[in-house]
A = this chain, B = another copy of it.
Amino acid sequence: MHCYKLLIAYDGTSYSGWQIQPNGPSIQEHIQNALRIILRNSFISVIGSGRTDSGVHAKGQVAHFKTEQSIDVQKVLWSLNGLLPVDIRIKQLEEVSTDFHAQYDAIGKEYHYSLSLDRVADPFTRLYGWHISGRLDQDLLQEGIKHFIGTHDFTSFTNEQHAGSAAKNPVRTLYRLDIVPNEGGICLEFEGNGFLYKMVRNIVGTLVCVGIGKMKASEIPIIFEARDRKRTPSAAPPHGLCLMKVYYS
């Protein structure tokens, strides 16, 4: 048995998300189908490090697949990029140990969320950043950020159905949440040991509420305490979010 690791970038605009689903095109399905054609093996399953939602982008998604065949990674890399739509690119393909698992072995992830702050929305970032037309106070934003760094029960900041139940541990550690200026706005850089479903988008939604003065940073601990998603402002839209990196030990 051989195991291969893929490093994947995609513009999520035209997809229903990473995960295969009955309605709408997914990135996982495109890659799996292309691999099945190239390797003439209809049993190949592509397992990602985690799903990304409809409209969410990735510059560093990781996935793996297993096969009895020993493959020429350079050849298969080029064939894959030849078959895949241009908004999905395989950046690397390498053989890894057979016990590698893209999801279970991940020990951390980095996500970036872009906020466009130009008074008039920039046509070039319209698909890759959330346009905030009002004034976003970065000091307030920074005050809000302090409450998220570290280890917390993130039940109030996830749309995961069973979060907080015995079935799923809702405790995660956010190592880093930095504000980094970029062209026309800022990027919120998240690094943590794992992220619950919609966790980044819920945090960004809350931080923007704080930054535009609709909510006080001091309310964040109360929301954490409530362990109830209904207490949290609306999630930020998907198109500002990008999965940058998956960490393995």
The answer to whether A9 touches B128, judged by C-beta atoms less than 8 angstroms apart, is no
A89 at the B interface (CB under 8 A) = yes
The answer to whether B81 touches A123, judged by C-beta atoms less than 8 angstroms apart, is no
The answer to whether A124 touches B90, judged by C-beta atoms less than 8 angstroms apart, is no
The answer to whether B126 touches A87, judged by C-beta atoms less than 8 angstroms apart, is yes
Contact pattern, A 117-130, Cβ under 8 Å of B = 1, otherwise 0: 01011111010100
User: Which one, B10, B59, B86, contacts A121 given CB within 8 A?
Assistant: B86
A130 CB to nearest B CB, Å: 13
A152 at the B interface (CB under 8 A) = no
The answer to whether A122 touches B86, judged by C-beta atoms less than 8 angstroms apart, is no
The answer to whether B89 touches A9, judged by C-beta atoms less than 8 angstroms apart, is no
For A128, what are the chain B residues with a Cβ–Cβ distance below 8 Å?
A: 124
Interface residues of A (CB under 8 A from B): 9-11, 57, 59, 77, 81, 86-91, 118, 120-124, 126, 128
